[in-house]
Structure 1
Amino acid sequence: MPESRHPTAAISSDAVDDVPFASPASQSGAPHAIQPQHYDAIMLAGFGGPEGQEDVLPFLRNVTAGRGIPDERLEEVATHYRHFGGVSPINEHNAQLRKALQKELTSRGIELPVYWGNRNWSPYLEDAVQQAADAGHVRLLGLATSAYSSYSSCRQYREDFARALVDTGLAGTVTIDKVRQYFDHPGFVTPFIEGVDTALRSFEAQGLAPSEIRVLFATHSIPMTDASRSGPADLELGEGGAYAAQHMAVGGVIMDHLRSELPARADTAWELVYQSRSGPASQPWLEPDVCDRIAQLPHEGVKAVVIVPLGFLSDHMEVLWDLDEEAMEAAAEAGLLAARTPTPGVHPEFVSGLVDLISERIEARAVSEREHVTPLGPWYDVCRPGCCENVRRGFSPAAAGLQP
Structure 2
Amino acid sequence: MAKVGVVLLNLGGPERIQDVGPFLYNLFADPEIIRLPNPALQKPLAWLISSLRAGKSQAAYRSIGGGSPLRRITEQQARELQSNLRQRGIEATSYVAMRYWHPFTESAVADIKADGIDEVVVLPLYPHFSISTSGSSFRELQRLRQSDPAFARLPIRCIRSYYDDPGYVGAMAELIAREIRACPNPAEAHVFFSAHGVPKSYVEEAGDPYQREIETCAQLIMDKLAQDLGHPNPFTLAYQSRVGPVEWLKP
Q: Structure 2-normalised TM-score?
A: 0.84
Paired residue for 1:202? 182
Map 1:95-106 onto structure 2 (within 5 A): 95-106=75-86
CA-to-aligned-CA distance 1:15-54 (integer Å, 9 cap, x gap): xxxxxxxxxxxxxxxxxxxxxxx66321122211111122
- For structure 2, the residue ranges without an aligned partner over 5 or more in a row are 30-41
SS at 2:92 equivalent:
coil
CA contact under 8 A between 1:132 and 1:138: conserved in structure 2? Answer: no
Residue 159 of structure 1, CA deviation: 0.6
Paired residue for 1:176? 156
Q: Distance in 1 between matches of 2:59 and 2:135?
A: 29
- Which of 167, 171, 176 in structure 2 is aligned with 1:187? 167
- Paired positions, count: 234
Coordinate RMSD, CA, aligned: 2.2
Q: Distance in 2 between matches of 1:172 and 1:255?
A: 42
Paired residue for 2:104? 124
CA-to-aligned-CA distance 1:354-399 (integer Å, 9 cap, x gap): xxxxxxxxxxxxxxxxxxxxxxxxxxxxxxxxxxxxxxxxxxxxxx
Higher relative contact order (CA 8 A, sep 6+): 1
Residue 94 of structure 1, CA deviation: 0.6
- Which of 48, 53, 58 in structure 1 is aligned with 2:17? 53
SS at 1:152 equivalent:
coil
The reply to whether residue 227 of structure 1 matches residue 203 of structure 2 is yes
- For structure 1, the residue ranges without an aligned partner over 5 or more in a row are 1-37, 234-240, 289-404
Paired residue for 2:32? none
Residue 98 of structure 1, CA deviation: 0.5
Q: Distance in 2 between matches of 1:119 and 1:46?
A: 6
CA contact under 8 A between 2:169 and 2:224: conserved in structure 1? Answer: no
Q: Distance in 2 between matches of 1:284 and 1:98?
A: 36
Residue 258 of structure 1, CA deviation: 2.3
SS at 1:226 equivalent:
helix
The reply to whether residue 159 of structure 1 matches residue 135 of structure 2 is no
Tell me which structure has the larger Cα radius of gyration: 1
Paired residue for 2:27? 63
Structure with more helix by fraction: 2
CA contact under 8 A between 2:13 and 2:101: conserved in structure 1? Answer: yes
The reply to whether residue 254 of structure 1 matches residue 230 of structure 2 is no
CA-to-aligned-CA distance 1:182-208 (integer Å, 9 cap, x gap): 1111221122111211121111xx2x3
Residue 85 of structure 1, CA deviation: 3.6
